[in-house]
Amino acid sequence: MPMDETLREDPYSWSAHIGMQMLDWGPGYAKFQLPLADFIMNRHGAPHGGAHASLLDTVMGYAGCYTGDPAQRQMCLTLNLNVQYLSRPKGEVFIAEGHKTGGGKSTFFAEGMILDETGELIAKGTGTFRYRKGG
């Protein structure tokens, strides 16, 4: 089922700066992509670990903050982020999916993974997030 376009948010400043783009967003789920531009690479030509962490943090946070109502935006703060770097990309785009895995009224848990467009599993992550009061 395609994403409800009324829920698509403009990229926040950091995600726009590095080129992150929302692909899908639904209950307990989010999907983003990040093209691997030269400025994302580290000294030895691999994507900088911060790119992985930023993408996982974003996709997991969005997965837990879906409301289904564009007028009712929910925000969160990251309390803990764990990243497992598994492989170097074979392709040119990171594709990340995040899933809310549990939680309560004030805190939620999520997991995410990054693949490239060839299907190579690049990284996995878990996170703990706190809902911000008032949205």
- Per-residue pLDDT band for 3 (boundaries 50, 70, 90) equals confident
Look up the CATH number of the domain holding residue 81.
3.10.129.10
Count up the domains in the chain and report the number.
1
Cα 18 to chain centroid distance, Å, stands at 13
Using one digit for the tens of pLDDT, what is the confidence trace for 13-32?
999 999 999 999 999 999 99
Any domain includes 4: no
Residue 28 and residue 83: Cα distance in Å, rounded?
20
Amino acid at 123: A
How does DSSP classify residue 41? B
Domain enclosing residue 85, as ranges: 19-131
- Per-residue pLDDT band for 57 (boundaries 50, 70, 90) equals very high
Is pTM, for the whole model, over 0.75?
A: yes
Any domain includes 104: yes
Residue 45 and residue 102: Cα distance in Å, rounded?
37
Any domain includes 1: no
Any domain includes 75: yes
Any domain includes 79: yes
Any domain includes 5: no
Residues 6+ apart with CB under 8 A from 90: 116, 118, 120
Using one digit for the tens of pLDDT, what is the confidence trace for 65-77?
999 999 999 999 9
Any domain includes 11: no
Residue 70 and residue 120: Cα distance in Å, rounded?
34
- Per-residue pLDDT band for 135 (boundaries 50, 70, 90) equals low
Any domain includes 98: yes
